[in-house]
Amino acid sequence: MSALLASIGAAVLGFLAAIGRLALFTGQTVSHLVRPPFYGREFGNALLQIGYFSLPVVGLTAFFTGGALALQIYSGGARFSAEAVVPQIVAIGMVRELGPVLVGLMIAARVTSSIAAEIATMKVTEQIDALVTLSTHPMKYLTLPRVLAATLVMPLLVGVGDIIGIYGGYIVGTERLGFNAAAYLQNTADFLEPLDIISSLVKGAVFGFIAALMGCYYGMNSDRGAMGVGRATKSSVVAAAILILAANFLLTEAFFSA
């Protein structure tokens, strides 16, 4: 019995310690925002890598999801003669929920893994130590530019994803399901409210912050060797995906619970 209690206690303490380490890491990252120097070139590179180069993945994901959503709503709605709501449900579904979540998860897969693997490899090959000996703070040089870039660029990616997702629904709706093009667009525009769009963009910013932060955190805390790099990469993606889904629930609750 005491062994069981001890193992439960150790697990709880380990969990609390991990939360503490992550909170400290987050605090340190944010604190570097207001402490010079700021590495603009690294920030620019991060914007390019996280934002611009993610556009194809985001666009394809959103397009196919929007199209599939239109088909699902049409066939599901047919059960209670509600086929006509396809434009409205595609719009609200993409903007409020699927756009930010799917873009967030795709960024976790593409960007979080890449950041974690890159920083973990830098740690294993002593490049992080080299940065310190060259009077460069690794948090300022590696973490802050990536986290800031992801936080700022993700709302744009989510916005693009929302538009392409709605366009995917529009293509399926007009070409496959026989909707009138002008009426489809009109219904979409009429139904969306500013709060839907604001919530989508805010979710994007929060998910971007989480995705980049997890990549940096696990990269910086990687164990030595190829296994360490692999474990850091895997853990970063898992943690980012779970935190994005958890944050999505909390933000949805905050925006739409009333």
Partner 1 sequence: MIELTDVHKSFGTNHVLRGVNLSVPKGESMVVIGGSGTGKSILIKSILGLVIPETGTITLDGRDVHKGDRDAFLARFGMLFQGAALFDSLPVWQNVAFRLLRGSLKKPKEEAREIAIEKLRRVGLTADVADRLPAELSGGMQKRVGLARAIAAEPEIIFFDEPTTGLDPIMAGVINDLIREIVTEMGATAITITHDMTSVRAIADKIAMLHAGKIRWTGPVSDMDTSDDPYVDQFIHGRAEGPIEAVR
Q: Which of 133, 178, 194, 257 binds partner 1 (CB under 8 A)?
A: 133
| Residue 2 interacts with partner 1 (CB under 8 A): yes or no | no
Q: Which of 2, 81, 135, 257 binds partner 1 (CB under 8 A)?
A: 135
Our CB check for partner 1 shows the closer of 48 and 250 to be 48
Nearest-angstrom CA–CA distance, 56 and 168: 14
Our CB check for partner 1 shows the closer of 37 and 225 to be 37
> DSSP letters along 176-208, please?
TS---HHHHHHHHHHH--HHHHHHHHHHHHHHH
Our CB check for partner 1 shows the closer of 39 and 191 to be 39
Q: Which of 26, 72, 127, 252 binds partner 1 (CB under 8 A)?
A: 127
| Residue 28 interacts with partner 1 (CB under 8 A): yes or no | no
| Residue 129 interacts with partner 1 (CB under 8 A): yes or no | yes
**Closest separation between CB of residue 136 and partner 1, Å?**
7
Our CB check for partner 1 shows the closer of 89 and 212 to be 212
**Angle of CA points 233, 236, 107, to nearest 5°:** 95
Neighbour-count burial for 174-208, b at 16+ CB within 10 Å, e otherwise: beebebeeeebbebbeebbeeebeebbbbbbbbbb
> Other C-beta atoms within 10 Å of 95: how many?
28
Our CB check for partner 1 shows the closer of 38 and 255 to be 38
| Residue 223 interacts with partner 1 (CB under 8 A): yes or no | no
Q: Which of 1, 34, 134, 182 binds partner 1 (CB under 8 A)?
A: 134
**Angle of CA points 242, 26, 28, to nearest 5°:** 165
> Other C-beta atoms within 10 Å of 33: how many?
11
Nearest-angstrom CA–CA distance, 141 and 45: 12
Interface residue list for partner 1 (CB under 8 A): 37, 39, 122, 125-127, 129-130, 132-136
